[in-house]
Amino acid sequence: MSYNTILLIEDEEHDALSLQFAFRQWKVTNRLQIVTSGEQAVAYLSGAGDHSDRTQYPLPTLILLDLGLPQLTGFQVLSWIRSRPEFSHLPVVVLSGSENHRDIHKAYELGANSYLLKLSDMEKLLGQIIQLNQFVLARINSDSVIQFAEPVQPQKTEPLPAATEAPVNWISTTMNHWRKACSSFIKRKQAFEIKDLHNSVDATFCRQLCEQHGYTCTREQASLICRPPLKALDPINHQSSTTVTTQTKPTILFIDDDTQLLRVLSDYLTEMGFKVLTTPDASQAMLVLDHNPTDLIILDLNLGGEDGLQFMSFLKTNYADIPILIYTGLDHDEQQVRDILRNGAYGYASKSQSMTQVVAAIRKILSHGRQDAAA
What pLDDT does 159 receive? 36
| Region 270-290 average pLDDT | 84
Residue 125: predicted pLDDT: 60
Question: What pLDDT sits at residue 154?
Answer: 39
pLDDT for res 130: 60
Q: What is the mean pLDDT of residues 162-166?
A: 37
Share of residues in the chain with pLDDT > 70 (%):
75
Q: Could you tell me which of 142, 174, 146, 173 has the C-alpha nearest to residue 159?
A: 142
pLDDT of residue 285: 83
Residue 75 has pLDDT above 70, yes or no: yes
Higher pLDDT, 83 or 9: 9
Averaged confidence pLDDT in the chain = 75
- pLDDT grade, residue 16 (50/70/90)? confident
Is residue 236's pLDDT more than 60?
A: no
Asked if residues 294 and 253 have their Cβ atoms less than 8 Å apart, the reply is yes
Average pLDDT over residues 54-62: 90
- Give the mean model confidence (pLDDT) for residues 234-250: 43
Residues facing residue 115 across a β-bridge: 94
Instruction: Report pLDDT for 63.
Output: 92
Beta bridge partners of 324: 297
Structure confidence at residue 155 (pLDDT): 41
pLDDT of residue 140: 43
Q: What is the pLDDT of residues 309-368, one digit of tens each?
A: 888 888 888 888 899 999 988 878 888 888 888 888 888 988 887 778 888 889 988 887
Q: Report the half-sphere exposure of 134 (CA within 13 A, side-chain side).
A: 16
Task: Encode 321-348: b = buried (16+ Cβ within 10 Å), e = exposed.
Answer: ebbbbbbbeeebeeeebeebbeebbbbb
pLDDT at residue 52 tops 80: yes
**Euclidean distance between CA atoms 154 and 157, whole angstroms:** 9
d(CA 255, CA 277): 9
Residue ranges, CATH 3.40.50.2300, the chain? 5-234, 244-368
pLDDT score recorded for residue 131: 58
The answer on pLDDT for 240 being more than 70 is no
Residue 307's DSSP bridge partners are 302
| 5-234 homologous superfamily | Response regulator (3.40.50.2300)
- Lowest mean pLDDT segment, chosen from 95-109, 273-287, 307-321, 360-374: 360-374
Which of 37, 83, 31 minimizes the C-alpha distance to 62? 31
Given a cut of 80, whether residue 248 has pLDDT beyond it is no
Give me the CATH code for the 244-368 domain, please: 3.40.50.2300
pLDDT of residue 298: 94
**How many residues does this entry show for the chain?**
375
pTM of the model as a whole: 0.46
